[in-house]
Amino acid sequence: MHIEVVGEGPPLVLVHGWGLHGGVFAPLVDRLSGRYQLHLPDLPGHGYSRDDATSLTLQACAAEILARTPPAAWLGWSLGGLFALHAASVSSQVRALALVAATPRFVRGQDWPHAVEPSVFEQFGRDLEQDYRGTLERFLALDTIGSEHARAELRTLKENLYARGEPAPQALQQGLALLEQSDLRTVLPELPIPSLWISGHRDRLVSPTAMREAAAMAPGSHYLDISGGGHAPFLGHADQVADEIRRFMDKTGRVGAT
């Protein structure tokens, strides 16, 4: 698994979302690498890890990243939030947790109404088999729709999508299955570390209400809703997100400092 390391200071691991790679965090790298040592994995089947044999499961990917990074705060965006949350639930090596546009469960259920229908991810899976590139681009549009900076964010995501090669179709299907099937709500009350939850108020994939409710389940949590943000608020509102991460890191005692 490819893991890029940038900057110096207390370590922070950043885990990307579906179909992309660590390069999507460039706005945060620009703003945080002067103060923190950033560890940016490309998940298996994505980016420079396209041919990596690690299974795209929460257990295997979290274990691999934990084995190759120091004790650190972890940040997960969208699908990456599931990996970060799982890692925090199984290892004391995760010293603090930040989730951006991510919840412990991405699909709707009787006791979890503020989420998308399971059929959304099922349909993307079927569409991938018929129109690989078109489906990826439609998903990127869904990432940005509603944001006050939607056009600029969509342009940035499209520029990133194939910058490190095409994501592997099998990994994309596995990622969709994780989004559809994962439910990590039970780990939240037992989280022994502080957590930061950042939502985009205009997000069409992850409801701010769901993020607020999830944050309320975790002791020591702090929730922030970015009023004009969509599903990728660290693109259109990079300064605000970076400032909040710095405050969180400082408040938690510059976790993982060496």
- Tell which wins on pLDDT, 253 or 31: 31
**118-130 vs 132-144: helix axis angle to the nearest 10?**
140
CA distance 253 to 132: 44
Catalytic-role residue among 203, 207, 221, 237: 203
> For the chain, what is the radius of gyration of the CA atoms?
16
| Calpha distance 32→230 (Å, rounded) | 21
Are the beta carbons of 149 and 231 closer than 8 angstroms? no
Report all structural domains of the chain as residue ranges with CATH numbers, in order of start. 3-251 (3.40.50.1820)
Q: How far apart are CA 173 and CA 129, in angstroms?
A: 9
Percent of the chain beyond pLDDT 70?
Answer: 98
Sheet holding 37-41, edge to edge: 3-6, 37-41, 11-15, 72-77, 94-100, 195-200, 221-226
Dist. CA 111–CA 228, nearest whole Å: 28
What pLDDT was estimated at residue 253? 64
What is the reported pLDDT for 218?
97
On the question of pLDDT at 256 being above 60, the answer is no
Known catalytic residue: 207? no
pLDDT the model gives residue 252: 83
Respond yes or no: is residue 203 known to be catalytic: yes
Give pLDDT tens digits for 182-233. 999 999 999 999 999 999 999 999 999 999 999 999 999 999 999 999 999 9
Condensed to tens digits (0 to 9), the pLDDT of residues 111-132 reads: 999 999 999 999 999 999 999 9
Q: What is the pTM of this model?
A: 0.95
β 3-6/11-15 pair status:
unpaired
Burial of 51 (0-12, 13-18, 19+ CB in 10 A): exposed
What does the alpha-carbon distance between residue 112 and residue 104 come to, in Å, rounded to a whole number? 11
Is residue 41 over pLDDT 50? yes
Catalytic, 51? Answer no
DSSP state of 194: -
**Of 16, 21, 46, 231, which is the active-site residue?**
231
User: 49, 78, 89, 182: which is the annotated catalytic residue?
Assistant: 78
Helix axes 132-144, 150-161, angle to 10 degrees: 150
